[in-house]
Amino acid sequence: MQQYQRSKVCRANSWLVVGSSAPFVPISLGARQTCPVTRTEGTSGISEVDHGNAELLTQSVRGWFEVHARDLPWRDPGTSAWGVLISEVMSQQTPVARVAPAWQRWMAQWPTPADLAAASPADVIRAWDRLGYPRRALWLREAAIKICEDFDSAVPSRYEDLLTLPGVGDYTAAAVAAFAFGQRVVVLDTNVRRVIARSVSGVETPESASPTVAERRLAEAMLPIDGAAAAHWSVACMELGALVCTSRSPDCGECVLKSTCAWVAAGRPAAANRARPTQRFTGTDRQVRGKLMAILRAADGPVTARALGSAWPDDTQRMRCLDTLIADGLVEPLPRSRYRLPT
Ligand code: SF4
């Protein structure tokens, strides 16, 4: 977990990346230049990357991260691979401000996979509280059980092994391999994709909802060779996307890449596939499911259908949502129209 941490050591203009023997020197890109990652058409038809210039860009962002990274609890150098996995799953669909205290509670209660594997489904659902998408809590417990059964109670380091864990997809497997084990893998979340799309490809947003092959190749070509440096670049790029190069209002004037950004150079053209308006929450099944879960989490024992009626007035929508919660394994139906969290 040490590899991508912000260094605690700063000597004037030279930062030492923890886990790397080489001094990390942030590079100023200075006054206006062309985009440092020159892309040309290779014989394969796949765009190629000028590795020297890509290094300038990645070092620049890494230098920015050293100064501006948020102090999140899982970025502590002592965080275990288990802690990294928990943080990545929790952060997938929940803002980090809400994740941070929940992560600390979870790590205090279940500091190892074996601890969580011994917990009941009801315990983990209650602890998940209001983080949203509570199926993730059950997946984490199932992942903990698999880690204990198949990996000697230790989070596996291989990307392929990580992918076998319940609820772990490409992004999470790559993030854990990089951030917990310092491996050189492409970590492509929405923030990284957006920063690369704008700063290198000169478009406002990636062209598709999921990363394309060309996007992956470009991201891979930009990765520093050293595993620790690659992980450091990935987390730095994610942070730049989260704090500066945001989806709706990028703060280009304050961005470390402003003098070389391809999208800025092109005049910030709007994407043809501009983001959809944010989905409303009020009245959605998501809201109703959350209200039903809140009642069940707060109860000491089974809850009657009548009591659940207070969650939402629309009987049809409420029962539909209850059925989906049962199908997801988050609610257990009992005789006589009673319900409880799974035991
Ligand atoms: S200059 Fe603007 S668009 Fe380009 S990477 Fe920075 S914030 Fe994003």
Number of domains in the chain: 3
Query: Averaged over 284-301, what is the pLDDT?
Result: 95
Q: Which residues line the pocket of ligand 1, CB cutoff 6 A?
A: 195, 198-199, 244-245, 250, 252, 255, 257-258, 261, 263-264
Just list the catalytic residues. Answer: 88
Give domain status of residue 325, yes or no.
yes
Q: Output the pLDDT for position 35.
A: 53
The span from the CA of 163 to the CA of 156, in Å, is 10
Q: Output the pLDDT for position 190.
A: 95
Tell me if 35 sits within 8 A of 259, measured CB to CB. Answer: no
- The reply to whether 102 and 165 lie within a common domain is yes
Q: Summarize pLDDT for 41-89 with one digit per residue, the tens.
A: 443 333 566 777 888 999 999 999 999 999 999 999 999 999 999 999 9
Task: List the 338-340 sheet strands across, edge first.
Answer: 303-304, 338-340, 332-334
Distance 30 CA to ligand 1 centre (A): 15
- The reply to whether 59 and 195 lie within a common domain is yes
pLDDT tops 70 at residue 196: yes
Contacts with 309 (C-beta within 8 Å, 6 or more apart), sequence order: 315, 318
Q: Output the pLDDT for position 271.
A: 85
- The reply to whether 54 and 198 lie within a common domain is yes
Distance 29 CA to ligand 1 centre (A): 14
Distance 101 CA to ligand 1 centre (A): 30
Could you identify the atom of ligand 1 that is nearest to the CA of residue 194? 8
Half-sphere exposure of 158 (CA within 13 A, CB side): 5
pLDDT tops 90 at residue 276: no
Q: In residues, how long is the chain?
A: 343
Give domain status of residue 19, yes or no.
yes
pLDDT, greater one: 178 or 51: 178
Residue 67, domain CATH? 1.10.1670.10
Give domain status of residue 270, yes or no.
no
pLDDT tops 60 at residue 18: no
Buried/exposed code over 289-308 (b: 16+ C-beta within 10 A; e: otherwise): bbbbbeebbeeeebbeeeeb
Distance 49 CA to ligand 1 centre (A): 19
The span from the CA of 6 to the CA of 140, in Å, is 27
Give the pTM: 0.84
- The reply to whether 68 and 214 lie within a common domain is yes
Query: Ligand 1, residues 259, 264, 268: which to mutate, most atoms within 8 A of Cβ?
Result: 264
Could you identify the atom of ligand 1 that is nearest to the CA of residue 251? 7
Which domain, by its residues, includes 170?
81-179
Could you identify the atom of ligand 1 that is nearest to the CA of residue 262? 4
